Chain A
Amino acid sequence: MTCEEIGELLPDYFEGSLKAPQDDLVERHIEECADCREEVAIWKKLSLLPVEQPSAGSRERFEAMLDAYQTGRNDKASAGFVPEKRRSAWNWLRSPAGAVAWSAALLVMGIFAGNYWGSRTTHSNAGQDEIAAMQIELTNMKQLVVLSMLQQQSAGERLQAVSYSRREDQLDPQVMSALVHTLRYDGSVDVRLAALDALSRHGAQPQVHKGVVDALQEQQSPLVQVALIDLMVEWRDPDAAQRLRNFVQTPNLNPTVRQRADWALSKLN
């Protein structure tokens, strides 16, 4: 048999589904033909490639997404009745961050319902609108995940949340507020730094701009202070000089931070 004919049988041979006479034909051929033998060998070698593991936070992220989705649905169906299991999510929803997430969830539901009814009536030209609506919905849902994970106990998860927020080109105002809140009040320096980094891309938003600049006065960590000073220089913030002059008056300021602030002032003047 020619290599071409054997080649047609090879995929079934790989899969082990080749029956008796043909199976023997292939085996006899590859004993003699180096090319076809190598092909079989490379197929077998593929099993050497390792199975890769998803990142550790994968399950938590999924659960945050599911929770955000479920809460939106359940609550619409049964306002007032809160099952035991959902109590913690419910408490979260009553917090300020929860409340904004909640309104986003309602928005999602609205889009979903609109989409559903829309597709029943206007079949023909709904395609584009549906895709657009779906994009909005998916983006909102991802941002809900960020919001929900920013509330987590573990700094690692909050760090993840910040990193997820970086993957969206545009952030909901609520997510931006939550990130500013994180920058100001999060207990972990790493999380605060990550939040600042994420916010640095959204300096054009007045809300972000103000939140970042305001954060300088209340930061205790020298690392975050230095990062904030650098960002203010980068943004060429109009009030930066005045704010820094006030800032260097702070008693017991870390010498490195003071040096950085002086350097920034020289840059800005």
Chain B
Amino acid sequence: MKEQERRAETENDQAMKLSPDEDLMLEVRNGAGETLGVLFDRYHAPLYNFYSKLTGDRTLSDDLVQEVFLRILKYRQSYQPGTPFRAWIYQIARNARVDHYRKTPRHITFEPHMVAPVMPKDSAQQLEETELLHRALMQMPEEKREILVLSRFQELRYEEIARLLGCELGTVKTRIHRAVQELRQNFKQLERGLAPREAAPAVVKTIPPRRFGNDM
């Protein structure tokens, strides 16, 4: 390859890395499948977090992320110029999850090792709090948890969430408020039940059974 061409290619790569999602998606739509790699790099970790916080299942989360990108290829012709890409991809992500549950009966999983990896700066108390919080979150019905995950972890703006869920902005706010209230109740209950943890049957009952490594 000539030096000039190589330089042009590098510049092109760099330009691609700075391009807005929407421009990249239009390229994918027009047949440049390899451009999808840049979008994969931008979105696969956030999507993975969306799924893992929602389902508590790592293997499933990995699979669903792949499914999303497969669907983007499949549906690329339906991407309309001017559509915010973030909204579009989360729409696909939600549909992929719904379809998965349609095919496979829902069972909630709770993987103990998913809870807060130990970080040196964590104090013992903070670790405990994080674990309680995670449990409190996982106790919520998935539909309610979703709105918290979208707003708090995916950092979607309320307007984006409203469009995604197909409801009014005010409804989104009300639902967030209710979800936070419920989370707080769950958290307090767990905190109270902490002394002998088994002493809180209502809580223990809602913690899904542990699942052992079944990947291989």
Chain A interface (Cβ < 8 Å from any Cβ of B): 7-8, 10-12, 14-15, 38-39, 42-43, 45-55, 58-59, 61-63, 65-66, 69-70, 73, 112, 116, 134, 137-138, 141-142, 145, 159, 163, 167, 194, 197
Q: Does B207 contact A (CB under 8 A)?
A: no
Q: How far is the CA of A115 from the CA of B176 in the complex (A)?
A: 40
Interface pick from B10-18, B45-53, B197-205: B45-53
Min CB gap A164→B, angstroms: 8
In the complex the two chains form, what is the Cα distance from A137 to B73 in whole Å? 11
A134 to B95 CA separation, bound complex (whole angstroms): 13
| Interface residues on chain B, number (Cβ under 8 Å) | 55
How many A-B contacts at CB < 8 Å in the complex? 122
Given A49-B133, A70-B34, A138-B67, the answer on whether A54 and B45 have CB atoms closer than 8 Å is: yes
Nearest A residue (CB) for B41:
A59
A42 touches B53 (CB 8 A): no
> How far, in whole Å, are A73 and B81 apart by their CA atoms in the complex?
23
Q: Which of B103-123 contact A (CB under 8 A)?
A: 114, 116-117, 119
User: Of the 9-residue stretches B19-27, B86-94, B180-188, which lies at the interface with chain A?
Assistant: B180-188
For residues 33 through 59 of chain B, which have their beta carbon under 8 Å from a beta carbon of chain A? 33-34, 36-37, 40, 44-45, 48-49, 52-53, 58-59
Residues A134 and B74 in contact in the complex (CB < 8 Å), given A15-B158, A39-B184? yes
Contact status A62-B177, CB under 8 Å: no
Verify B216–A163 contact, CB threshold 8 A.
yes
CA separation between A138 and B158, bound complex, in Å? 32
* Bound Cα distance A45, B128 (Å): 12
Residues of A within 8 A of B53 (CB): 49, 52
| A87 → B minimal CB distance (Å) | 14
Q: Are A49 and B183 in contact (CB under 8 A)?
A: no
Tell me which residues across on chain A come within 8 A of B31, comparing CB atoms: 73
Q: What are 18 pairs between A and B in contact, CB < 8 Å? A: A8-B173, A14-B176, A15-B158, A38-B188, A42-B184, A45-B133, A46-B148, A47-B152, A52-B58, A53-B45, A54-B44, A54-B61, A62-B40, A65-B70, A69-B33, A116-B77, A142-B70, A159-B216
Tell me whether B66 and A62 are in contact (CB under 8 A).
Answer: yes
B-side contacts of A142, CB under 8 Å: 66, 70
A48-B129 contact in complex given A43-B180, A167-B63, C-beta closer than 8 Å: yes
Q: Nearest 7 A-B pairs (CB), nearest first?
A: A54-B48, A11-B173, A42-B184, A11-B176, A48-B130, A46-B152, A52-B52
In Å, the complex CA distance between A100 and B155 comes to 43
Q: Shortest CB–CB separation between residue A111 and chain B, in angstroms?
A: 10
Cβ–Cβ < 8 Å partners of A138 in chain B: 67, 70-71, 74
Contact partner, B183, options A42, A70, A197, Cβ 8 Å: A42
Interface residues of B (CB under 8 A from A): 31, 33-34, 36-37, 40, 44-45, 48-49, 52-53, 58-59, 61-63, 65-67, 69-71, 73-74, 77, 114, 116-117, 119, 126, 129-130, 133-134, 137, 148, 151-153, 157-158, 172-174, 176-177, 180-181, 183-184, 187-188, 215-216
Closest to B77 in A: A116
Contact of B116 among A7, A49, A53, A65 (CB under 8 A): A49
> CA of A41 to CA of B181 in the docked complex: distance in angstroms?
11
* Contact assessment for A10 and B116 in the assembled complex, using a CB-CB cutoff below 8 Å: no
Tell which of A49, A51, A62 has the most Cβ of chain B within 10 Å. A49
B132 to chain A, nearest CB (A): 10
Contact of B65 with A66 in the complex, beta carbons under 8 Å:
no
Would you call B177 and A8 a contact (CB within 8 A)?
Answer: yes
8 Å CB contact of A54 from B62, B73, B188: B62
Contacts known (A49-B134, A62-B66); A39 close to B40, Cβ less than 8 A:
no
Q: Known contacts A48-B130, A66-B33; decide if A58 and B62 are in contact (CB<8 Å).
A: yes
Q: A55 to chain B: which residues have CB within 8 Å? A: 58, 62
* Contact B133–A48 (Cβ < 8 Å): yes
Task: Tell whether A49 pairs with B153 under 8 Å between CB atoms, given A54-B65, A65-B66.
Answer: yes
Q: Are A51 and B67 touching (Cβ within 8 A)?
A: no
Contacts of B37 in A (CB 8 A): 62-63, 66
CB distance from B141 to the nearest CB of A (A): 17
Contact of A10 among B33, B133, B157, B177 (CB under 8 A): B177
Residue of chain B at shortest CB distance from A51 = B49
